[in-house]
Amino acid sequence: MPILGRERAREWETVWATLTRMDSLFAADPEGRGLSGMLSNLRGFLLDKFQKSDAGQPAVWYNLGFNPELIWALGVVPFCVSELAALSSIVGDQADTEAFIDLAESKGYSADCCSADKAGIGALLRGLYPEPACLVGINTPCDSQVAVVQAMAEQRNRVPLFVIDVPPYDDERTFRQVAGQLRELIPFLEKHTGRRLEWDRLRKVCETTNRTSQYLWDWMEWRSRAPTMQPSKVAAFTMVLMIGFSGSRWGLEIARALAEDARRKVETGARYFQEKARAIWYQDPVWWDIQIYDWMEAELGLVIPMDIFGYYASEAWIDTSSEESMLFGLARRMVNCHPMSRQFRGTMKRYIEDFMVLHERFQADCGILAGHIACKHSWGGIGLFKEACKKADIPLLVFEFDMFDPRILTYKELQFELKRFVEEMVLPRKGRAKPGAEHGRVGE
């Protein structure tokens, strides 16, 4: 299916055609309004990128831990290098994502790297993004990012690269240090894109981000109610939103669609399955087939009210009163609110604390650590995490899988793990819990 009347790479056309069909399918059903709102704004976002790229506007490539507000404010086109691989998995053909992964590995990139990065590198190797004016690399949200930044630099070795180095701390000094790097990034971007940053434009972009933040907080509030009415399969979208859409009107509209859908579902109260157990999904979501969340709900009564990719911390507000405060706000948000960047730098303390907060706030019965095989930071601290859950008497399921590659743990194997955990561990414990503890911490 051509996009804007022009033939594109097959992978982009597949994503576009699938999005169009999904939007048409789900728009017809009132229960699908939230999903349809997300899909139509995703289409708008892609259309805008293609339009601008076709018009010859400069593109800036970046990796997973960066948020694109500065790029939007310059009026140039942001491309996260893992974007197409992720879209292919979530709203396209999963086989394309796997082909990207295989290509990266066949060219010598380490199989131990994260599949999000390997798939991103595969898309780079295939030349599927418009040529960049410059590159922005960042060492968050995880260690694998160093590999993808290196790959970007190798793939486009004549294109200037700016690297943001985020320290492994989460204090004010860290935010100021990163804000200083963003200050240095501005003339770099101006020089290579030929655009001048207008601070008023950045202010508007930051205000859009703030409105988006408010919707995300509202969304979390609606999802925290038990029973959770909005499907589990949309619990992880904050991460996608921050990486690709931060500061754009499409991001704002997607957050609004999510929040309003969650509110409407609570208010109408229509239930299609019986909620039996609530889990905090504390690692990467099953992007390769998000429909498995429907199976969890329908067959196991298992609900994921929130996961680590969906959690949006309260430090995201950007003070737009001055240049300094905006850069500080952007830095703090990128370092302390971006899912994973927040939990996966430095010690395991925040990782564990956030889990406990989510478990309490979202009235969970258990935790599920879907252990993405490349997440060395979480595997490295697994002993501490297990110990903390044991101390708090929270049942925890831990298994190895890959968020973009079902060849590591298959659909059937995943079903087996979840079914066994819920039916043999969580539900019997809930049955033994004292009255009134249905949605609380089991055994407390």
Partner 1 sequence: MAGLANSQELDLVIGGFLRRLPRLDPIIREITEGTPLLLKLELKDPPLAAEIDLTCTPLVIRTDSTAAGTVGMAGRSEDFQRVLLGLLPVAKGINEKKLLARGSIALLMKAVPLFYVVPYIYPSYLESIGRADLIEAGEYPPLHADQPVEGIMNQIISALAYGAGYLMGFIKKRIAPRLDILAALEAMGQGLRKAGPPHQV
- Contact residues toward partner 1 (CB under 8 A) are 14-15, 17-18, 21-22, 24-29, 31-32, 35, 90-95, 231, 272-273, 289, 291-292, 294-295, 297-299, 411-412
Give the shortest CB-419-to-partner 1 separation in angstroms.
14
d(CA 142, CA 138): 10
Give the shortest CB-172-to-partner 1 separation in angstroms.
43
Give the shortest CB-92-to-partner 1 separation in angstroms.
5
Do 303 and 275 contact (CB within 8 A), yes or no? yes
Do 167 and 140 contact (CB within 8 A), yes or no? no
Give the shortest CB-27-to-partner 1 separation in angstroms.
5
Kindly tell me which of 12 and 344 has the beta carbon lying closer to partner 1: 12
Kindly tell me which of 77 and 403 has the beta carbon lying closer to partner 1: 403
Kindly tell me which of 84 and 313 has the beta carbon lying closer to partner 1: 84
Kindly tell me which of 90 and 335 has the beta carbon lying closer to partner 1: 90
Give the shortest CB-36-to-partner 1 separation in angstroms.
9
| Cβ neighbours of 5 (radius 10 Å) | 6
Give the shortest CB-386-to-partner 1 separation in angstroms.
31
Kindly tell me which of 111 and 270 has the beta carbon lying closer to partner 1: 270
Kindly tell me which of 290 and 369 has the beta carbon lying closer to partner 1: 290
The strands making up 366-372's β-sheet, listed across from edge to edge, are 302-307, 277-281, 366-372, 396-401
Give the shortest CB-126-to-partner 1 separation in angstroms.
17
Kindly tell me which of 214 and 415 has the beta carbon lying closer to partner 1: 415
SS (H, E, C) the chain: CCECCECCCHHHHHHHHHHHHHHHHHHCCHHHHHHHHHHHHHHHHHHHHHHHHHCCCCEEEECCCCCCHHHHHHCCEEEECCHHHHHHHHHCCHHHHHHHHHHHHHCCCCCCCCHHHHHHHHHHHCCCCCCEEEEEEECCCCCCHHHHHHHHHHHCCCCCEEEECCCCCCCHHHHHHHHHHHHHHHHHHHHHHCCCCCHHHHHHHHHHHHHHHHHHHHHHHHHCCCCCCCCHHHCCHHHHHHHHHCCCHHHHHHHHHHHHHHHHHHHHCCCCCCCCEEEEECCCCCHHHCCHHHHHHHHHCEEEEEECCCCCCHHHCCCCCCHHHHHHHHHHHHHHCCCCCCCCCCCCHHHHHHHHHHHHHCCCCEEEEEEECCCHHHHHCHHHHHHHHHHCCCCEEEEEECCCCCCCCCHHHHHHHHHHHHHHHHHHHHHHCCCCCCCCCCCC
Kindly tell me which of 158 and 412 has the beta carbon lying closer to partner 1: 412
Kindly tell me which of 200 and 299 has the beta carbon lying closer to partner 1: 299
Kindly tell me which of 149 and 229 has the beta carbon lying closer to partner 1: 229
Give the shortest CB-396-to-partner 1 separation in angstroms.
26
Give the shortest CB-416-to-partner 1 separation in angstroms.
14
Give the shortest CB-414-to-partner 1 separation in angstroms.
11
